[in-house]
Amino acid sequence: MKIGYFGFNMGALATPSSIKSILTKVEECGFESAWTGEHIVAIDPQEPPSPIPPEYPFLDTIASLSFAAATTSRLKLGSGIILLAQRNPVILAKELAGIDVLSAGRLIVGVGVGYVKGEFDALGVPFIERGARTSENIEAMRSLWTQEKPHFDGKFSSFGSIQSKPTPIQIPHPPIIVGGMSVPAYRRAVIHGSGWYGFNQTLEAAGKSISALKLAALESNRPVELGRLSISVTPQGTVDVDTVKQFEDLGVDRLILLPKGRRGPMEKALQFIEETAEHLNEVLTPD
């Protein structure tokens, strides 16, 4: 089982010294990966379904991953997740390719749709289009990363007669992990993704999601070149070795752990990492 750490760019950790301390500890303790979270803006005043108060700090995903690339040497670096419908795919493809180059091929591109309408309103992106934009943007970025003469003709983006160099180090491109627990999200992961990511999942919920992914695979044409769909999950609450093995038995490949009280001080995060490494030593398998 691969073990990741979630949220090094938010809350009390959203400072240069804190990120460096956290990522150093995560790497030393044998974790496989470290992941950002993302909300470009926060709703003020907070109202459902926004999960954060307006003053809660979120460092930008691209800036955080770039900083992490320079701070670490082995860790895989994941975006967990980029709200892809809120981004220009040509610009984002350039930024992510740069991170893959600067990290020597350690990037994992986690993407999702988003669910807070006010965030889309602030960015001028129609909320109703978020699913279609996400699916299309994945393919637009893939075109820029893999085609000798990049060309794309979509509903939301069109380009041709351009180059965007350098392309990612990873061939054909960094893994694209699609998040979400809806039927469209499962279908999007199967059709467009290297893997799927479920956030805040119990064992029961993860089992239902994996069953839904299998159903989506039967109903959709998964491109052969995408290979097997990997499964990443942020579990609900703390985990022990037995829980890890139960997730593994379900077919989960990676657990991306989120410490309790994620709005607490850095010292609690460091303690969580050390205790996790001690308790899960026998299942930590850094890649």
Q: Specify the CATH number for the domain of residue 233.
A: 3.20.20.30
How many Cβ atoms from other residues are within 10 Å of residue 93's Cβ?
A: 24
Between CA 144 and CA 147 the distance in angstroms is 6
pLDDT at 259: 85
Helix (H) or strand (E) holding 250: helix 241-250
Domain annotation covers residue 88: yes
Rounded Cα gap, residues 96 and 101, in angstroms: 9
How far apart are the C-alpha atoms of 212 and 142, rounded to whole Å?
Answer: 25
Q: How far is CA 224 from CA 61, 161, 182, 229, 252, in A?
A: 30, 28, 23, 11, 21
Question: Per-residue pLDDT for the chain (287 aa), expressed as one digit of tens each?
Answer: 999 999 999 999 999 999 999 999 999 999 999 999 999 999 999 999 999 999 999 999 999 999 999 999 999 999 999 999 999 999 999 999 999 999 999 999 999 999 999 999 999 999 999 999 999 999 999 999 999 999 999 999 999 999 999 999 999 999 999 999 999 999 999 999 999 999 999 999 999 999 999 999 999 989 999 999 999 999 987 899 999 999 999 999 999 999 876 556 888 999 999 999 999 988 887 66
Query: Could you tell me if residue 163 is inside a domain?
Result: yes
Contacts for 23 with CB less than 8 Å, ≥ 6 apart:
8, 34, 68, 71, 72, 75
Q: What residue numbers bound the domain in which 170 lies? A: 11-202+218-279
Q: What is the pLDDT of residue 262?
A: 56
Predicted TM-score (pTM) above 0.85: yes
Domain count, the chain: 1
**Residue 136 amino acid letter:** E
Give domain status of residue 93, yes or no.
yes
284 domain-assigned? no
Res 136: pLDDT? 98
Q: Are 145 and 168 in contact (CB under 8 A)?
A: yes
- Give Cα 31 to chain centroid, integer Å: 16
| Predicted pLDDT at 261 | 61
Host H or E run for residue 219: helix 203-219
Give the whole-angstrom CA distance, residue 176 versus residue 138.
8
Give residue for tokens 């949220």: 7
At residue 236, the pLDDT reads: 85
Runs of H (alpha helix) within 1-147: 16-28, 61-71, 89-102, 117-123, 130-146
pLDDT of residue 260: 74
pLDDT in tens, 91-128: 999 999 999 999 999 999 999 999 999 999 999 999 99
Characterize the bridge pairing of strands 2-6 and 33-36.
Answer: parallel
Buried b (16+ CB within 10 A) or exposed e, 127-162: eeebbbbbbbbbebbbbbbeeeebebebeebebeee
Distance CA 192, CA 137 (A): 10
Q: What is the pLDDT of residue 204?
A: 96
For 165-209, write each residue's pLDDT tens digit.
999 999 999 999 999 999 999 999 999 999 999 999 999 999 999
Q: Are 177 and 78 in contact (CB under 8 A)?
A: yes
- H/E element holding 205? helix 203-219
Which tokens hold the place of 30?
Answer: 């044998």
Q: State the pLDDT at residue 263.
A: 56
Residue 193 has phi, psi (to 5 degrees) of -110, 155
pLDDT of 191: 98
In 3-state terms, what secondary structure has residue 150?
Answer: coil
User: Looking at the domain assignment, is residue 6 inside a domain?
Assistant: no
Q: Give burial (CB, 10 Å; 0-12/13-18/19+) of 42.
A: buried
